[in-house]
Structure formats: structure tokens, C-alpha cells
Structure 1
Amino acid sequence: MAQARRSFEKLQFAFRADAPAVASTVEVPIRRPDGSVLLARLYRPRSSPPAERLPVLVYFHGGGWCVGDVPSYDVLCRELANAAACAVLSVDYRLAPEHPFPAAVDDARLAFDWVAGHAETLGLDAARIALGGDSAGGNLAIVTALARREAGGLQPRFLLLIYPSTEIVSARASRARYAEGFFLDRESLRWFFERYLPQGNSEDWRASPMRASSLAGLPPMLLIGAEFDPLIDDCAAFAARVNAEGGAVDFVETAGMVHGFITLGKLFPEAGEALQRAAAALRRHLLETD
């Protein structure tokens, strides 16, 4: 597992874009009910006045619930903060296999609740919170939004989903079509799923949000997919179902791209284009007034 994490970090650090300056970064400790600490990092955009209460994107990194962390996603969060003119809270949720399902879900839900409850102290606007993430992180964003819908009260205003995992077990065609040779392959998916879900909880909506009894009542969302991704058909099916149940999804399939491209800006110019699309959607839903 240590080798897998080092390999992921090396890939991210080698091919991510250059890190832009932001107004500030602050390490934020979030206390869990058992007294342990969930760490997060808060980014304020370069353009923000110090006294302004900002909207915030709570962001969950990718990595199959097993690899990845706040440092490896530092550049993406800086870019999103500056381009969207909002704060970004990057969450260092617990990883499998040391902490299997539902530990990451519990951390994601705690992060949203904590930000909502401490927004004023942090200089944030609790009425303008978005949830976002890529891959496993996109899964956590969806699941957190579903949990907030069930709980009632304060809801996220927007979801930013980048090739999210929406269903653990899937027979859709892209799983076979792109099973080999397109960066994320069948064996990698199996490896991640087995470590995240050692008890085989694939039917649980907190692991497979596509299995939720209803997807109605979710906030508007942008879902960015990659053409050569084994998850692309799952993403399309999820978007179609949300729209069919009364939601609002802007689904974009990024031509020629593979799973993971958003953090590999030195390899793929499309990463910058997708980031600008994401930032525009965040500005539209968090900054603009009717």
C-alpha cells in the first residue's frame, strides 16, 4: 500500500500544473466524535478581500479511497480557488484499507457539517457551500449530498463532479470497452474496490449512490467525464437518472481523455479547459445572484 501511495504521489507531482499563489492557506483540524482529528486545508483565492465572507467548495480528492491526500491535490485546489473566486476546503479523509467503508463517508459528512457550523469563524458563507471531488472524491460528494437531503436543514448549493464513481458493480459497456490500456483499468478498479469494501457492501447507496432509492432533490451539478474511462457509461447513466428525477445536470464528456486527467495539466491541455468550465459553474452557482 505504501508503494501504491508513493507511485500516485509521484505521478501527481510530476505532471500537475505549476502551483499558483493564493491569498492564504490554513491547516484546519476538525474533531471527530471519538476525539481524533480530521485534517483539512482551507484556501482563500488570490483576489479575495480579507474581510469578505466567501462561498466555499468542500473538495474530496480522488484515488480510489486508498491513495491521494491534500498535498497531492494542492495545485488543483489552488487553481479552483483562484478561477472560481471562492474558498476551497480540501479534506484529508481516512483511507482504506486501514480505514475501510464507511470511514471516508463519515469524514466527508463531518467535513460538510463542520464547515456549515463554523463558517462565520472561518470567514465563509454557510448559505453558499458546494461539494466537489474527482473519482472516489466525486463519489463522496454525491453521497454527502444524499445524506444532507435525508437529514434536512442546510443543503449544498452545487455539486462539482469529475468522473465520479457512482456504482461499484456495473455491467455497462465502457467497463469492458476500456478495461485495458486506458490508465484506469479493470484490475485497478478491482484492487481499489476490494480494499475499500472488504465486506462487499457494493449495494449500499453510500458506496454506490446510483443504488439510492431516489436521486431527486439533489442540488444542480456539473459532471465532467472522460471519453476513454471505464466509468464513463456509469457517469452518463447517473446524469440521465438525476435529470429524469427532476434534477439539473450539465454532463460533459471530455473527448480523448482518460480517467485522472484533471490533475495532469502538464500532459493534457484539456485539464485546464475542464478546470475553467468547473470554475465558471462554481461562479454561476455560488457568486451570481438571480
Structure 2
Amino acid sequence: MGLFDFLQYLRLKFLISSLRLLVQLVAPLPAPKPDSVLRIPSRDQARTIKANVYSRQSGEVGNATGPRPILINFFGSGFALQYHGADEPFCRFIATKTNYVVLDVQYRVAPENPFPAAVNDAEDAVKYVLSHPDEYQISHVSLSGFSSGGTLALVSSTLFPLGTFQSLIGFYPSTSLAGDPAARKAPVPGRERPSFWTKVFREAYIRGKDARDPRISPVFAETTNFPQEMLIFTADHDVSATDMEALAERIKTEGHASGRNVVLRRMEDCDHGFDKNKKSENQMEAGREAYAQVAEFLNRLEEESE
């Protein structure tokens, strides 16, 4: 790392560390209470990837009747904030309302661990699941993610052979880190957030890499690589929505011959992160509706596969 790169890193480290501290002081994240904690082997020597496990049978990953279907979830972070555990209400809801075991994966964030660290962790988590058919139904593996975690879910789905994943669920994912974040517009304008932190997170994560790499921006991936079943939630006032909706239409159109089913739902009068906006009962209710739709979606897939 040259002097200029080092100084850039220090700047990003200071900005993001300051924001992390502020978030911790103003809106501390409650300690998650999973049924168990899994340590997944990493490709990096002497390192593991933490995953919180949520299961209908408390403390168990499998059960007496055999392997269970599994949902691998990735939290939202902007690829920079340490929000692992923020999706616990979703994970617990799905584990309660379906037969799925939910793994909530903690991936590394920038600037300490820029691209491809998060992608590598996501890929390693999937490989772990696929290598344990005694615990998980490897023909019933689904992905989910929120915000940047939704981006990771989209990316991860394209890193494995078609048919690896039963489905993908995305909440307000960003599909492209290319271009100027300030140029993005929400479907319903008027509540856009300042783009300063988006630019900081983007710079910290990609660190000079080509943002058109499909592992960074899944909008550049071959659309035929995405799973057959997809459920995507966007929001009226989210600048990420327009790109995601355009990608969803492409996936639906270009995958029509193979029977791809893409369900796209834009949440009315909602913002990015609507399901976690405790200041708005309207948005929290939208979140509850979305969670219920995910459970129905997964249960339908299980019924159809029987």
C-alpha cells in the first residue's frame, strides 16, 4: 500500500469509525439471542465466520426426521457498518412460521476488509451448507439479504451453478455501485437521503476496483444465472429501487423460457430499511407484511416440492 492509499484508508477509517460509534451511542443494536451460534470455516487460515442459527427446534440445526431446508441471510451494512444481528426479528419469524433453519451470516466489512472479503465470506458460508447434506436439504437452499446483504445474496446466487438455490429473497438491495450515487433517483421523489455516506461506503468497499465487476454490482451479471424463484421488495422513496426493479424485469424477461418466477413488490410510502424504521408505524407494518409474504413464499415452495 502506497502512501496515498494509506492516507485514503486512514480517512475512511476515521469517518466510518466515527459513524459506527455514533450509531452505537444513539441507536444501539440489542444483543441477538439466536438458538445457537455456528463457526463456519473460512478460506483464510485460522479464521471462522460467525453465523447465528434460528430454528423451530431450539438449539438444533437438524432434527430427528432428517435434514431441513435452509435460508442463508446476509445483514445490511453498507458494506461498512457492523449490524450483524439487526435481522433477528426476520430470522426468528421465518424460523417460527416455516420449516426452514435460518443462518444469519456475519461477513467482514470495509474499510478494514474491502472487496472481495464480504463476497468470500458469503461464498464460504454457502459452501459449508452444501457440504453438510446430513444437516441441510441441499436441494432446498435459499438466500436472503437486506440492503447490502441483499446485494450479497444476488451476487452469491451467481457464483454457483444454476439450480444450486431454491430461491432468493431481497429487501431493498443495491444492484450497482457503478456511477455517481448522487445521480440515483427514487421512484417517488422527495425523501432522498444525502449521498455523502453512500459515497464513503462505496469508496471504502471497492477501493479502486472496477465497480462493473458483477461480484460488486450484480446488475452486470448474466441474468440467466439468478435463481428460478425470486421475491424482491423495494420502496417508494429508496434510490436503490429503480435499478433493482429494472434488473428484476430483465431477469423475468430474459429468463421467461426457463420458467423463472420473479415477484417484485414495491412498498408504498416507504423508505430504505422500512422494516426497521421504528419511528413509523406505517413502515413497520409494511415490514410485517413483507415478512409474512416471505414465509408464505417459502412455504409454497416447500409444498410444491413435496
1:67 Cα deviation after fit: 1.0
Q: Secondary structure at the match of 1:5?
A: helix
In structure 2, the residue matched to 1:279 is 295
Q: Secondary structure at the match of 2:223?
A: coil
Match of 1:252 among 265, 273, 298: 265
Please tell me the residue identity of whatever aligns with 2:114: P
Q: Give the conservation status (yes or no) of the 8 Å contact 1:174–1:231.
A: no
CA distance, structure 2, for counterparts of residue 11 and residue 286 of structure 1: 37
In structure 2, the residue matched to 1:239 is 248
Q: Secondary structure at the match of 1:225?
A: strand
TM-score normalized with structure 1 length: 0.85
1:128–1:8 distance in 2 versus 1, CA, 3 Å = farther
Please tell me the residue identity of whatever aligns with 2:149: G
Please tell me the residue identity of whatever aligns with 2:275: I
1:173 Cα deviation after fit: 10
In structure 1, the residue matched to 2:97 is 83
Pairing 1:4–2:19 present: yes
Q: Secondary structure at the match of 1:191?
A: helix
CA distance, structure 2, for counterparts of residue 101 and residue 166 of structure 1: 15
1:245 Cα deviation after fit: 1.1
Instruction: Give deviations 1:233-281, integer Å, cap 9, x for gaps.
Output: 0111110110121132101000011001123357321110111111111
Match of 1:43 among 54, 57, 64: 54
Q: Give the conservation status (yes or no) of the 8 Å contact 1:65–1:192.
A: yes
Which of 1 and 2 has higher RCO (CA within 8 Å, sep 6+)? 1
Aligned CA-pair RMSD: 2.9
Please tell me the residue identity of whatever aligns with 2:243: D
Deviates more, 1:243-252 or 1:3-12: 3-12
Pairing 1:134–2:150 present: no
In structure 2, the residue matched to 1:194 is 203
CA distance, structure 2, for counterparts of residue 216 and residue 71 of structure 1: 32
In structure 1, the residue matched to 2:5 is none
In structure 2, the residue matched to 1:160 is 169
**Sequence identity percentage:** 29
Structure 1: 5+ residue stretches without partners? none
1:31 Cα deviation after fit: 1.4
1:72–1:183 distance in 2 versus 1, CA, 3 Å = farther
1:177–1:133 distance in 2 versus 1, CA, 3 Å = closer
Pairing 1:95–2:109 present: yes
CA distance, structure 2, for counterparts of residue 168 and residue 286 of structure 1: 34
Match of 1:144 among 156, 174, 192: 156
In structure 2, the residue matched to 1:204 is 213
CA distance, structure 1, for counterparts of residue 118 and residue 174 of structure 2: 14
The count of aligned residue pairs is 278
Please tell me the residue identity of whatever aligns with 2:82: G
Please tell me the residue identity of whatever aligns with 2:108: R
TM-score normalized with structure 2 length: 0.81
1:184–1:113 distance in 2 versus 1, CA, 3 Å = farther
CA distance, structure 2, for counterparts of residue 279 and residue 54 of structure 1: 15
Please tell me the residue identity of whatever aligns with 2:242: D
CA distance, structure 2, for counterparts of residue 179 and residue 224 of structure 1: 15
In structure 2, the residue matched to 1:110 is 124
Instruction: Give deviations 1:115-141, integer Å, cap 9, x for gaps.
Output: 111241xx3212111011011111111
CA distance, structure 1, for counterparts of residue 244 and residue 151 of structure 2: 11
Please tell me the residue identity of whatever aligns with 1:276: A
Q: Give the conservation status (yes or no) of the 8 Å contact 1:84–1:279.
A: yes
